[in-house]
Structure 1
């Protein structure tokens, strides 16, 4: 049997990104944004500003939906509005905050280092902006999207093609205005606003589709969980993919409001492939999105999380736990053995609040558990690195050494306490003397 061709790199599929907004749903969305933009140009201040802001936010939200769905491997369909993922409800506002932070930093640098240094910083921040946008779409977390380690990990994972991606996005970002200027002489003045809104939305969708595809192209390197892997993606070229057909049927059921049938379809797929991560992920997302399915969502999570932990998929597991928390804030793993590795995964991902939430009250929920000293040690690290509370951290470290002297955590607690002492002495040499 001949091997399947590898996924095409983004620079060989460039033309498809321009065709994507011309498919039915993206085209209707762009036309709607154009109509709103034209309406904004026909009303008076301040209503026109409000409408323009609404158009911008709506376009960005749709763009983030396109980015997220493309990054998950959905390359041959356009059902974005009905997709039950997070879809970026607040992502445009988080994007505005990121831009405001960048401009504020540049202004501060200009005040102390001059305009030229500020321009260098702006160029550098501009190179980071695509990575920030992609992280926002995947994590929906402002802090994580601007964390230098996460930004660097994404850029390093993509490698040199990331610079090409930045260049393409730069050209696309200026294409809307250039094309509008070329078309204005041939367009009635009353339609210029609508045309500008349509072109702005069109090129925005192209840019987000491009970023989503770049993430999908490197998802195995970046550790991104996708719905449609490379093998299934390329197999659809030669033959229909039953999973894709099932996904299309599920999307149709959701559009018709037949949520129970969509859930039954997802459960049927999972019954056929009980260990398949993508089938589990689809059912999980559907249960999270449909109101009234909280108990079913918790039941499925309780069955799926142990399998994820056993298979080393902690990053997927923490996403599942965070999704469950949106509906059940008091949720915690029923087995104590899963708490520490899950909390450690949260900690390694710099999601410190989630790690603290998991280990809170561990000794009361699981009295006498073997992981208790290690959980205390992780709590001390959270106090040091996240809350900057070294005083309380020292108390926790001392308790570990006192109550669990023979545990590996006690040795690490001693080392960590000595490190704190050395850092304190270095920061205040007079007191040390």
Structure 2
């Protein structure tokens, strides 16, 4: 462990935080959503079974995520969009449980209950080792191999058996609570709180196993690299990319830093924060061409996510780099004009709307763009004559349009201002 790393708490001191882990808001709403989803398992035919399977697959997915993240030093749950655990990992955990418990149940029903009880005791002792091996190595055959359990248990020693005792207690608590709920609530009303108890303790149990590995990684010979600090960007991959880009920037390779972040734009895309950091490196490297190229797509992305104000700010940056810059998508331009007008940037709104009706003839938003720009020209910029001419030309194109009457009224008002201007000239 590095000298400046925080000391690792013993498992016993960490228990309150371990049991509170699923109560974190991020995890809690995911557990609640899955419990609501499980209510659909009462649907007829195979549909109900599909929802039951979905509940358990997603539940074990949350559990595996908790275990693996904890192993690597992440002690707070991540959002659903940041989850790295796969459905395959969750299915493997379910298969592990089935391989262990189905034979025990079969022996209890059709064989010797005493033998089944002994096997259940062995499962309680050794299953946590199999779960840890499966989560870390992602190999079901290795997880089922007793020769892999004993070295793991031997290196963990008493900590392992302490965790086994806690997990067994959690299972007992879960069963008792669910029985009490079924006795207290009529019909199927116990299913929702019962599902919540099951998932809550499942996630807490896997988090406990993850912390056992993390706290004893040196004894296990595992390289537990410190997690990239959470917080600034959308997911661990972005955090890692930014960390690498920052290292390149510190070495003076601003172009390399920008390229590293640009790689993240492909595929599922990247967060706005990553785009902003990318533009920062381009500015520091005086890459105006790169900024202009990126800004064209970034403006459309921001508008697509209803961030009109931010999109207008990026467009202003574009025009500062190149006064002749013009955005090419008519719907985007119309929204930018409206945003500029709302924010009191009359000159920018008029500049953006310049020639809109000739660049995009017949576009549905052309009348509104012309009206917005002309009103600003006449009332804010002293361009009454030009505004009147523009409105008059547009008035011939809006016959039967919903904006025909408002445009005519505006034309009359601007015409009066224009007459005053001509009279005083």
What TM-score, normalized by structure 2, do the two folds share?
0.52
Distance 2:268 2:60 in 1: 29
Query: Does structure 1 conserve the Cα–Cα contact (< 8 Å) formed by 2:57 and 2:94?
Result: no
Post-superposition offset of 1:131: 0.7
Query: Please, which moves more after superposition, 216-225 or 113-122?
Result: 113-122
2:78 is aligned to 79
- What residue is the counterpart of 1:125 in the other structure? 123
- Distance change >3 Å, CA 225–CA 273, structure 1 → 2: farther
Structure with bigger gyration radius: 2
Correspondence list, 1:180-191, <5 A: 180-183=178-181, 191=189
Q: Indicate the SS of the match to 2:87.
A: coil
Q: Closer, same or farther in 2 for the Cα pair 1:8/1:272, shift >3 Å?
A: farther
Which of the residues 117, 134, 144 maps onto 2:142? 144
Alpha-carbon distance in 2 for matches of 1:56, 1:134: 18
**Residues 215-226 of structure 1: matches in 2 within 5 Å?**
215-226=213-224
Please, which of 173, 176, 191 is the counterpart of residue 175 of structure 1?
Answer: 173
Q: 2 CA distance for matches of 1:82 and 1:67? A: 17
* Residue of structure 1 equivalent to 2:9: 8
Aligned twin of 2:243: 266
Residues 9-66 of structure 1, C-alpha deviation per residue, up to 9 Å, x if partnerless?
222222212211111211011111110122324x234432332122111101111011
User: May I ask how many residue pairs the two structures share in their alignment?
Assistant: 257
Which residue of structure 1 aligns with residue 151 of structure 2? Answer: 153
Q: Deviations over 1:149-175 (max 9, x none)?
A: 322221111102211111111111232
- Look up the SS of the partner of 2:178 in the other structure: helix
Q: 1:102 offset after TM fit, Å?
A: 3.4
CA distance in 1, matches of 2:241, 2:4: 34
Q: Deviation string for 1:178-208 (max 9, x for gaps)?
A: 2234455766756432222222111111111
User: d(CA) in 2 for partners of 1:110 and 1:25?
Assistant: 40
Kindly indicate whether the alpha-carbon contact (under 8 Å) linking 1:65 and 1:80 is maintained by their aligned counterparts in 2.
Answer: no
- Cα offsets for 1:374-412 (capped at 9, x unmatched): xxxxxxxxxxxxxxxxxxxxxxxxxxxxxxxxxxxxxxx
Does residue 248 (structure 1) correspond to residue 253 (structure 2)? The answer is no
* Residue in 1 that maps onto 2:342: none
SS in 2 for 1:13: helix
Match of 1:195 in 2: 193
Q: What is the CA-CA distance between 1:93 and the residue it aligns to?
A: 2.8
Distance 2:207 2:72 in 1: 12
2:2 matches 1:25: no
Secondary structure of 1:79 counterpart:
coil
Deviation at 1:109? Answer: 8.8
Q: Write the deviation string for residues 348-375 of structure 1: whole angstroms up to 9, x where unpaired.
A: xxxxxxxxxxxxxxxxxxxxxxxxxxxx
Query: SS in structure 2 opposite 1:74?
Result: coil
Structure 1 residues 110 and 15, CA gap change in structure 2 (3 angstroms): closer
Describe the shift of the 1:220–1:99 C-alpha distance in structure 2 as closer, same or farther (beyond 3 A): same
Separation in 2, partners of 1:114, 1:181: 25
Structure 2 Cα separation of the partners of residues 128 and 32 of structure 1:
32
* Cα 1:63/1:289, change in 2 over 3 Å: farther
Unaligned runs of 5+ in 1: 230-242, 275-282, 294-433
Contact 1:59–1:201 (Cα < 8 Å) also in 2: yes
Where 2:224 maps in the other structure, the secondary structure is: coil
Q: Which residue in the other structure is 1:356 paired with?
A: none
Q: State the distance in 2 between where 1:162 and 1:55 align.
A: 29
- Residue 108 of structure 1: CA displacement? 9.9
1:35 maps onto 2:18 in alignment: no
- TM-score, L = length of structure 1: 0.51
Q: Distance in 1 between matches of 2:39 and 2:107?
A: 39
Does the Cα contact within 8 Å between 2:26 and 2:78 map onto a contact in 1? yes
Partner Cα separation in structure 2 for residue 135 and residue 56 of structure 1: 20
Contact 1:74 1:227 in 2 (8 A): no
- Contact kept? 1:131, 1:151, Cα under 8 Å: yes
Q: Given the superposition, is the C-alpha separation of residues 80 and 207 from structure 1 closer, same or farther in structure 2, using an over 3 Å criterion?
A: farther
Distance in 2 between the 1:204 and 1:213 partners?
14
Distance 2:65 2:151 in 1: 23
